[in-house]
A and B are shown apart, each in its own frame.
Chain A
Amino acid sequence: AQSVSQHNHHVILSEAASLELGCNYSYGGTVNLFWYVQYPGQHLQLLLKYFSGDPLVKGIKGFEAEFIKSKFSFNLRKPSVQWSDTAEYFCAVNPDSNYQLIWGAGTKLIIKP
C-alpha cells in the first residue's frame, strides 16, 4: 500500500539550530510532493511543493526540500530555525495517477527561545 513516513514525531531544537525533517514515501511511479505546516491555532498552509524540474525546491520562510528519487525521499530543511517555526509539519504525496493525497503522520517541531 502507498504510504508516507515521517520519521520524527517530535523534534525540539534551540533557535539558530539547523533543521532537517525526514519524509519517505512508498510509490514507484511519478509523484507530486508537498510539505504543509500548521502553526498553533491555525489551519493548514502550504510550505513548498515539488512537481517536476529542479529537485531542490525553495519554499516560504527560508525552508527548502530536496527530492531524491532514488531514495524515495523529500526531506525538509532550514539552516537556522526561529522560535516562530514552532508548528506541526506534514509531508504529503500525490501519486500522479490519481487525485488522492497521502499524508505523513506529521512532525511537531518545538523551538526553544
Chain B
Amino acid sequence: GAVVSQHPSRVICKSGTSVKIECRSLDFQATTMFWYRQFPKQSLMLMATSNEGSKATYEQGVEKDKFLINHASLTLSTLTVTSAHPEDSSFYICSARDQVGYTFGSGTRLTVV
C-alpha cells in the first residue's frame, strides 16, 4: 500500500535554531499533504494543508512565518520550524492524500531545549 516516510523521527534542537521535517510519499504522487501537531494529552490539531506548487493553507492560529511549509514536488513536503522555542516542543505528523484515502507518516518528536 501507499507509504509516507517522515524524517526525522526524533530531533532535539537548541532554542532559537530552525528545524526541518520532511514528509515523502514513497510510491505515489501526493498533490496534497497535511501537517498536524499533537499537544501533550490532547488530540491532533491540523496545522496546515500543503499543496504542490502553491502556497500552503494554514489553519487559524497557526503562524505561517514560524511554520514554513514547502511542497516543491509531488513526493515531498517539508515543514520548517523557525526560531524554535521550548513551547514548540511537540509531536508533528504529516499525512498525504493517495488514491484510496490518506496515509500518515510516523511522526516527528521535536524537543527544543
Query: Which A residues are closer than 8 A to B by beta carbons?
Result: 32, 34, 36, 38, 43-44, 46, 49, 51, 88, 92, 94, 96, 98-101, 103, 106, 108
B72: min CB distance to chain A, Å: 21
Q: Helix, strand, loop or mixed for chain A's interface? A: strand
Query: Measured between alpha carbons, how far is A101 from B46 in the docked complex, in Å?
Result: 14
Q: A-B pairs with the 4 shortest C-beta distances?
A: A99-B91, A46-B43, A88-B101, A43-B34
- Is the CB–CB distance between B46 and A43 below 8 Å? yes
**Residues in chain B within 8 A of chain A (CB atoms):** 34, 36, 38, 40-41, 43-44, 46, 49, 90-91, 93, 95, 101-102, 104, 107, 109
Whether B49 and A101, one on each chain, are in contact in the complex, defined by CB atoms closer than 8 angstroms, is: no
CB distance from B32 to the nearest CB of A (A): 9
Give CA–CA (A106, B32) in the complex, Å.
20
